[in-house]
Amino acid sequence: MPPETKEPKRTSIGLKIENFTKSYDSVEVLRNVSLDVQPGEIFVIMGPSGSGKSVLLKHVAGLEIPTNGRIMIDGKDIAHPKTRSQLHMALVFQAGALFNSMSVFDNLALFPREHRLYDKKVLNEKVMTALQTLSLEDAAGKFPSQLSGGMRKRVAIARALVMEPEWILYDEPTSELDPTMGATITEIIADLREEFGVTSLVVSHDRDLALTIADRVAILMHGDLLELDTPENIKKSENPKVKDFLNPVIDIKNPRFKRKD
């Protein structure tokens, strides 16, 4: 049974993605991507829809196998079942992936119950602690359909916290939220790093999130890693595609859906 501590089990030496390529039915969706994420870092992968962000995250979570290249954690290949079983990694899905027929409490308790990880009292404490961390203790008995979009995202993050992960992977944590809710989730991601030292790999097209809380930002476009740098340097990028992505100029005389370039 894992020790009862709020501190993450810090054993990681980081994540290394090496020459990663992924094809589905001979269509390459990610090409030769290499990057590393340091323990304790908030690393944001930005890119437009369809650029391959979720595909990359699924591979980091070990849910799929690369076509070429490899993903290493602690110097071990993440595709190996033994490596995955030792990982303290949680994935927060874009849509939350909550069970609507279950209360918030039961959504958080489901995985540890199914795997018989804790006795009832310890599980209760862990679930309530995770809810309190996200100021959700009053929502324990509610059902997902009774919550706002922002609260559902917070529940999805709280569910990840129950397992006291060392790594949290977030897929579009602020999508479909209004700007204030988006800012709240952004603050939560930063706070979880401050409080628990969680290493955070975030994929998002949210410019505010990336440029305020990231230690480093990678820009992915159409399957290629275009740039990898600090937010300060990314903001100053001279790459026209990066500039257009971060600060799109609306030009009604020459609209981009009619442009040939």
With a CB cutoff of 8 Å and minimum separation 6, the contacts of 44 are 202, 203, 204, 209, 210, 213, 214, 216, 217, 218
Q: How far is the CB of 201 from ligand ADP (least distance, A)?
A: 13
50 binds, among Mg ion, ligand ADP, none (CB under 5 to 8 A by kind): ligand ADP
Half-sphere exposure of 67 (CA within 13 A, CB side): 15
Work out which of 15, 35, 44, 55 binds ligand ADP, going by CB under 6 A.
Answer: 55
Nearer Cβ to Mg ion, position 53 or 159?
53
Q: How far apart, in whole angstroms, are the C-alpha atoms of residue 30 and residue 221?
A: 9
> Is residue 200 classed as helix, strand or coil in its secondary structure?
strand
**With binding defined as CB under 6 A, does residue 66 bind ligand ADP?**
no
Q: How far is the CB of 30 from ligand ADP (least distance, A)?
A: 8
Q: How far is the CB of 66 from ligand ADP (least distance, A)?
A: 13
Q: How far is the CB of 40 from ligand ADP (least distance, A)?
A: 25
Nearer Cβ to Mg ion, position 29 or 110?
29
Nearer Cβ to Mg ion, position 205 or 235?
205
Do the Cβ atoms of 79 and 66 come closer than 8 Å? Answer: yes
> Is residue 172 classed as helix, strand or coil in its secondary structure?
coil
Only one of the segments 46-54, 97-105, 206-214, 225-233 lies at the binding site for ligand ADP (rule: CB under 6 A); that segment is 46-54
**With binding defined as CB under 5 A, does residue 54 bind Mg ion?**
yes
**Amino acid at residue number 7:** E
Work out which of 12, 51, 184, 200 binds ligand ADP, going by CB under 6 A.
Answer: 51
Secondary structure letter of residue 6 according to DSSP: S
Nearer Cβ to ligand ADP, position 54 or 67?
54
Outline where DSSP puts E strands in the chain.
Answer: 15-24, 27-37, 42-46, 68-73, 76-77, 89-92, 167-171, 199-204, 216-221, 224-229
Which 7-26 residues touch ligand ADP, going by CB under 6 A?
A: 24
Binding site residues, ligand ADP, CB under 6 A: 24, 29, 47, 49-55
Binding site residues, Mg ion, CB under 5 A: 54
